[in-house]
Every structure is written in structure tokens, then in C-alpha cells.
Chains A and B, each alone.
Chain A
Amino acid sequence: MTDMLTPAEPTKLTRKDFVAEQEVRWCPGCGDYSILAQTQKVMPDFGVPKENIVFISGIGCSGRLPYYMNTYGFHSIHGRAPTLATGLKIARPELMIWVATGDGDALSIGGNHFLHSMRRNVDFTMVMHNNRIYGLTKGQTSPTSEFGKRTKSTPMGSVDRPVMPLTLALAAEATFVARTVDTHTEHMQQTLEAAGRHRGASYVEVLQNCNIFNDGAWREFTERDVRDDRMLVLEHGKPLIFGKDRNKGIRLRGLHPEVVTIGEDGVTEADLAVHDQYAEDPYLALILSRMFWPEFPVPVGILREVDRPTYSDLVDAQIEQAIAKSGPGDLAKALLAGETWTVE
């Protein structure tokens, strides 16, 4: 391409432009550092001026993220970040909005708002730092903690069954649903980038380590030496293959996924399920959302990405329609609505 064909662009932003002056206050070694770094890294790629970007968070360790982003930022209250994001997006549809949240913030106290902001397809990206624990309050069980987990509040083991966040997001009609891991930096960048570009409610679960209160939360399958065998990297249009030797795969037997080995028992690549992240129906995504270690490799990547009108698109369209029908509102007329009479 020649210079002449390139339109004049505003000065390109770099990662540095998105780094706020605040000193970062997470515990050394916390997975949140990586989430922040990858977020800052992908931000310039969207080409959105930083004054048009807003980070909104709830309460928890994850809630501190907006302070470290040199954009507009709002550290709200526990669980309610999606509500502020919804109001802001309705009022200002042109803004790019990110919600930083935790497993307790999004799924416990904020569970209702999670459900409703997703089903409305509000155009923002929710990044959930899932460390399977309440970090900021120093280590109680969370909605994603394992059944039987011993924590400060469950000394004999938790008797709560955990929720599957991705299944929940799909059931809530999120139009973009993905999972990534704090230590898989490139994968996280790709995932955040795709989530940020998606128009509509995007949900990204980041498997995050809390090295203070839940160290090794995901270690069993995310460690470098085991991850290829224990995780399944989803790619659109590709068969569900995993393993160091790329010889394992997922085959569907009716509604049931099963792990098979290519070359054994006559299994070939053609027998494997093929990922379709754009499928209108959510069935494959739902099956993937329920696969988890140790029964299955843990899927990461984009489970679902579908195009639907966003909430603010629909709100604005109704306003346009109303104006097209009856002209822009006339206050004097509204004041005089109904029957009037005059007193001389």
C-alpha cells in the first residue's frame, strides 16, 4: 500500500498511553497483574480514543483495575458494575465500556445484574477475574469454589455446589462467551481483543490465580507441562483436538461428549466434533461450557459469538421511530396534553 491510499489517522496510541500513574497495589505474584498488562497491551488495537473508553468495576481485588487504566474509570460498589455500565451505555452509546469483576462480585452479590445485562445484550465487555475465592475479604468460599473446599468460612468444607460461569453466561443469552487464563498471555490478548471488538454483551472468564488465599487454583491443568493435555484450545471451524501430540479429541455421542484418541479404535479426525463459535443455536457451546478437568480437558477460547442488535441500538431505534412518526417532542404541547380550559 502506498502512503497516498492510507487515510490520515490520529496519532496511534501505545500500551504506555493506557498506563495510569497510580501505583499498582495487588499482592506480588497475583494473576491480576497479567490481566491488567494484557488489557493495556490490546487497548491501542481498537483504535478508540482513550477518552471514549470507560472501565467500570465492582468491589474485590479485581475492582482496582480501573485505577490503573489511563482512561475514564469508575470503581463502583459490590456487584453493581453492570448496572452502571448499562446506564452509561444507554446514555452514551458511542463509548467503549469494560467491566472488571470477580467471581463473587459477578456471580454472588451481582448475579442478578450479570443475568440481566447479558440477556439485554448491553454492548460492554465483562472480564471476570475468577480466582475461585473471595480475595479482598481474605479468603472465604465463592460461588465458583469447589464443593467441599475448606476456607476460612467453611473450615469443614463448603457444602455449596459451584456454578459454571460459562453455562450461566450462555443461559443468560450473552452474545460473546469466552474463557482464557491469566498465565496464557497471548491467548488472553487474542480473547480480549475479540471480546472488545464484539458488539453486544461479551463475557470473558479469566482463570486467575490468587497466590495468597487460593494458590494454585487452576494449576492442575494450566501449568506449562500439563496444559496441552488438559486444556482444549477452541478454534472456529477446527475439530476439537488437544494433547501434546495433537492426537486426542472430543467426539459427540448423541448429547454426550467423550474423549477419544486419534488412531485408536479406528478413530480419525473426521469423527471429532468441529467447533462453530458462530452457531446461532447454543447447544455445542453449552456442552463445551460444562466440560471440565478431570473428566475433560478444559476448553479455552471463544465458545460463542453471535450477532444480535444491542440494547442501545434498540433503544435508539425506538426513539428515532417515535420522532419519525410524530416529529421531535414539543414541550409546550406535552404540557398542554389532555383537556384544557382558559380562565380570563
Chain B
Amino acid sequence: MTTTAQGPEREVRELDRVTIRFAGDSGDGMQLTGTQFTRTAAVFGNDISTFPDYPAEIRAPAGSLPGVSGFQISFSALDIHTPGDAPDVLVAMNPAALKANLVDLPAGGAIIVNSDAFTKANLSKAAYAANPLEDDSLKAYKLFRVPISTLNAAALEGLEMTGKQIDLTKNFFALGLMFWLYERSMEPTLRWIDEKFGSRPVIAEANRRALRAGYAFGDTTEMFHETYRVPKAKLPPGTYRNITGNEATALGFLAAAHAAKRPLFYGSYPITPASDILHQLSAYKSFGVKSFQAEDEIAAMGATIGAAYGGALALTGTSGPGVALKTEAIGLAVMTELPVVIVNVQRAGPSTGLPTKVEQADLFQAIFGRNGEAPLPVVAPATPGECFSMAIEASRLALKYMTPVMYLSDAFVGNGAEPWRVPSPDELPDISVPNSVKEDGPYLPYARDPETLSRPWAVPGTPGLEHRIGGLEKLNGLGTVSYDADNHHLMTKLRHDKVAGIANDIPDLEVFGPERGDLLILGWGSTYGALRSATERLQAEGKSVAHAHLRHLFPFPKNTGDVVRSYKTVLIPELNLGQLWFVIRGTYLVDALAYGRVRGKPFRISEIVDEANRLLAERS
């Protein structure tokens, strides 16, 4: 029991974990609200995981169902892997947000609504026949009706602002209220307001007032009988920051260039959900990073190959439709054996698909999607923080093996955030490789390193190494154009063996759980959190279940065959209809089972647990 200065008496309840979903119109600033709450929770020391879920339209008609934008954050005193299957609290700024999100809220969950927004017009835009705040339809939940718009407008009285401008700050009222409810400091957000609106004092003051008014409302109202405390998580020691996958990807490549001692080149054409990487790398000019917004993805790929030819650490970034356009040029990079990294932040397809939603359906495209025998290594980060180390790994493989590398992130891992232990630059591996210099004898652009099978890298400007490369088949060693049949077979084999050999240079597939047993859950990419959490739950129930998560998808780690053969059942859940499943079966002749869902959303932990239990029961 505590009392605050002015407020009524209330309980403080300690919780291990809370999941909040902020939902509103895409004009209501829900992404910003969620991000501010996330930073605050992260800086406080919780483990966090987030899931921003926004519509493809920048501003769908105000108040409409398609215009609803959401941001889910889970913050915890424990080590968590996902943003939570279902929210504990839904903050709904209008009827459409309530309607679109209510399905995910379990019975007993809390709803905080902006009751001012439940006007006749808004109710009809959300296709509500009656006002749900006034009938019994929400009685399964804890409903808090807060007249946010009115209270907020009152708090801003006297500021020279239009009604519309005032209304735009109501998300900070809601944020302030949530800060109060979860005993969070307003300081990080107040600092952010100063930085962001420093030059616009009225707007800054309005946002400050809105935030404080929300906080004060919580403190003085009698509506809430409890506040909640989620203690700090026990993370390994170090300095932490909150990071999204796309941020970690950009930083990872910046670090990779440092570790490779080469300038960084990034060629890209804007596309959701990859554009953030272009924006971030474009801001690193003082590092000498050269970012290039090309006229299309083909040009971005061509320019990336040109920059690699010139000796840069060169990469391009896009999403699936962009990779489709780059395909021919990626083949050129395979043929000319130049080091480039292709970042694919996957989204739901085919075609334009669901541009802002997650899917893992570009694995076939990554592994197989080129004409001719055109193998290239494929890697995939599993968590937002891991995007950093996988960016360095992708760069290492590209440089060491003189090959294009596909880096498969996705909308969930790219936009999602988690606390990240910040490495120091001297922890970075040395991934540098030398350029060729003139030696005795003729220069052989296609001579091969006996261990890696990679070819030398002679960059223009090096005297005595003038040579010609290109997309036509080359004579082994000398590199002149060759139409010889046996030479083509030899070169095709060499390119294949070079990439296959990478299996000897990557870590084994790690298994979480028993080394043999009833069930292996095998996954890749952003499903890591759900699969790991599901496995933890199943293990806690005493089931013989293990989880293994692939970061290298081509070639696979050497022990992958042994791992998948060590369990009675292998379940491969993916956000596609069974792409890894197909490749694992084809490669290792194991009777693995697929669990594929493409709903534009990450897996829920519970559905994996259910599927695993179903299989365990059926097969015991």
C-alpha cells in the first residue's frame, strides 16, 4: 500500500512481465508513443521486445479500420524473446483501433480508451452499430473510459495553437498516463521533446504539458486502484541501448567496413521495410560512407558491383520485389566473383503483397532464384540485436570467399526492438583481405586460393594487373573468355565447391535442449523468439523437445544433418508454406514436418506449443 502526495490510496503490484498495445489512427502517433515507452522501459533496465504493426497507407481515411496503426511492447523482469502473444493492456485511441485489436485481448485484459473519440461518426466509420462503451459488449474486460481529448485540450489552454495541433498531442497524454500506471519516469521523453522541438517552443511546451497532464490524471483520478511495477531484468553486464533490427543492420555494416578496413558503399532504391537502412547509412557521411539512391534496384545492384570492383565493401539493400529486379545482376556478381552483400528485409509477397507485414517467403528466391548454377551464401539474423553480428558475418564471407552474400532479415526483426549490449570497436573481428599486387609472371584473375577457392581481387588503379572480367564464362586461371565445354563444367564446379566449402568455416548448429529426443523444433530468422519461448514452455512441462535455429541457410552448418536425424520428429515452423522444410528434406532425406503460416504476423508462442503437443501426442 502506498499513498502519493495528492492521490488516493493505491496498491502497487509487482509483475514479471507486461505487454501493452498502443493502437490508434495512423495519424495519431502510435509508433512514436510506442517507441517512447520502449526507450523508457529499456533505459530503466527491463528486457523488452517490440512489434510495430502499421498499415501500408501513410494516412488511410481518418478513423477507418484500414488506418489503424499499432505498436506492441512487452517489457519484463525476465529474459524474454518475443513481444508477447497477447497484450495485457490495450490503449485504443478511437473505435476503429478498439475494433481492430480487441480480438487479440484475452478476457480480463485492460482497455484504456479515449472516450471522446467514440462519436457517432467515428463509430460508424468503424462499423459499430452501437457504442461499445455503453452496452455490455466489453464486460469481459477491465474498461477505463478516459476523455483524453478534452482533458488534453484543457491542459494546453492558453497556448497559441489550432484545435488540430492540440489534438495531435493527445498521444502524449496517453503516454503520460501509461508512464504513471507503470511507475515510469517521464525524463527520457521530456529530454526527447527538448531535442526534437527545441526550435519550436510552443510545440515543445504543448507536448510537455500533454505528457504531464496524462501522468497527473493517473495520479489524481480514482479510476485506477493499482499501479504496476516491473523490476529490472538480469541482463549480462555491459552497456546497453535499445536497438531495432534495421538500426543494428546499418550499424553492423558500418562496423564491418571498419573491420575490413575498406570504405563502405551502399546502393539502394527505397522500399518498405528496408528504407530505414538507407536513411541511417546516408547519415554516416563523416565515416566516408557513400550511400547512393539509385533509379531502381537494378541500378542499385549494378552500382554495388561497380563499387565492389573498385575495392569498396559494397552492399545493396531492398525487399523481395527489389531482389527480383536485382536477380540478373546478382548472377553477374556470382560469375565475376566479386564481394557484395544483398540485404533483403523480407515482407509478405508475392508481388507487392502486404508491404509492411512480415513473411519469410523469400528463402527459395535467396537460395535458388537465379538463372544457371549460381550458388551464393545465405545468412539470416534471428533477433534485432543479432542483425549487427550477422552483418559482419555476411561481410566476412563476401570478402573472404569473393562472393555475393544474401542477408535475409524481415519486417518483424527489422522493425522490432530489443536491448542490445553495445560492443566496443576492439571486440570486432578482423575481416580484412588484401588487394592483389603485381608479382612476377602474368596476372591470373581466376587463380584460386587452395583453401577457400576464392579468386584474387585486383582493383583498378593497380599497375600491371590490367585485366578484363565479365559475365561470359572465363577460362580457369587466365580469365579470358572461354566457350570450352569442360572448362565450363570445371568453373561451375569450382564456384559450387567454393560456396559449399563455407560449411567448414561457420559455427555448428547449436541445439537448445536434449541432444536426442522426441521433437526438434527447427527454425530460422525472426521466428527465433516464438520458437525458443515455446521450447522453454514445453521443456518446463517435462517434454523431450529441443530447439535449433539456423543462421546460415546456405550452406548449412556441417552438423545439420546429424542434428535433424537425432529426433523422432522434426517440426519446421516458418512464416511461409514450407521453404526451409523443403530444403532440409531435399538435403538430408529426413521426414520433417512443416508448420507454415502467412498471416503477416509473427508466430504466437501458444500455437507452436499446441502444434508440438499435438505431434507429441499423435506420435507417441
Decide yes or no whether B158 CB sits under 8 A from chain A. Answer: no
| Nearest chain A CB to B47 CB, angstrom units | 11
Return the chain A residue nearest B470 by Cβ: A75
Interface range on chain B (Cβ under 8 Å from partner): 35 or more
A113 touches B295 (CB 8 A): yes
- Please measure, in the bound complex, the distance between the C-alpha atom of A221 and the C-alpha atom of B303, giving whole angstroms: 39
Decide yes or no whether B476 CB sits under 8 A from chain A. Answer: no
- Please measure, in the bound complex, the distance between the C-alpha atom of A315 and the C-alpha atom of B267, giving whole angstroms: 13
B302 touches A74 (CB 8 A): no
At the interface, is chain B mostly helix, strand, loop or mixed? mixed
B258 touches A331 (CB 8 A): yes
Decide yes or no whether A153 CB sits under 8 A from chain B. Answer: no
- Option from B267, B331, B462 in Cβ contact (under 8 Å) with A87: B267
A335 touches B329 (CB 8 A): no
Decide yes or no whether B304 CB sits under 8 A from chain A. Answer: yes
- Taking CB atoms, residues of chain A closer than 8 Å to B312 are 91
- Taking CB atoms, residues of chain A closer than 8 Å to B607 are none
Interface hits, A298-339 → B, CB 8 Å: 315, 318-319, 321-323, 325-329, 331-332, 334-339
B461 touches A77 (CB 8 A): no
- Binding-face segment, B66-74, B230-238, B571-579: B230-238
Interface range on chain A (Cβ under 8 Å from partner): 35 or more
B255 touches A331 (CB 8 A): yes
A326 touches B286 (CB 8 A): yes
B302 touches A76 (CB 8 A): yes
B461 touches A85 (CB 8 A): no
Decide yes or no whether B402 CB sits under 8 A from chain A. Answer: no
B284 touches A332 (CB 8 A): no
A112 touches B238 (CB 8 A): no
- Please measure, in the bound complex, the distance between the C-alpha atom of A202 and the C-alpha atom of B437, giving whole angstroms: 32
B42 touches A90 (CB 8 A): no
Tell me which of B298, B299, B314, B425 has the highest count of chain A C-beta atoms within 10 A of its own C-beta. B299
B292 touches A87 (CB 8 A): yes
A331 touches B295 (CB 8 A): no
What is B's interface to A at a CB cutoff of 8 Å?
39, 42-45, 188, 235-242, 251, 254-255, 258, 263, 265, 267, 284-290, 292, 294-296, 298-312, 314, 328-329, 331-332, 336, 422-425, 459-472, 480-481
Provide 26 A-B residue pairs closer than 8 Å at the C-beta atoms, listed in order of the A residue.
Answer: A22-B468, A51-B465, A52-B460, A66-B470, A67-B468, A72-B460, A72-B468, A73-B469, A76-B332, A77-B332, A83-B294, A83-B301, A88-B307, A92-B311, A112-B299, A116-B295, A319-B286, A329-B286, A331-B258, A335-B422, A338-B242, A339-B188, A340-B422, A342-B238, A343-B239, A344-B237
What is A's interface to B at a CB cutoff of 8 Å?
20, 22, 49-54, 56-57, 59, 66-67, 69-77, 80, 82-92, 94-95, 112-113, 115-116, 315, 318-319, 321-323, 325-329, 331-332, 334-344
Known: A76-B305, A332-B425. 16 other contacts (CB 8 A): A53-B460, A76-B471, A82-B299, A84-B309, A86-B302, A90-B303, A91-B311, A92-B310, A92-B459, A95-B460, A319-B288, A336-B239, A337-B241, A340-B239, A342-B238, A342-B239
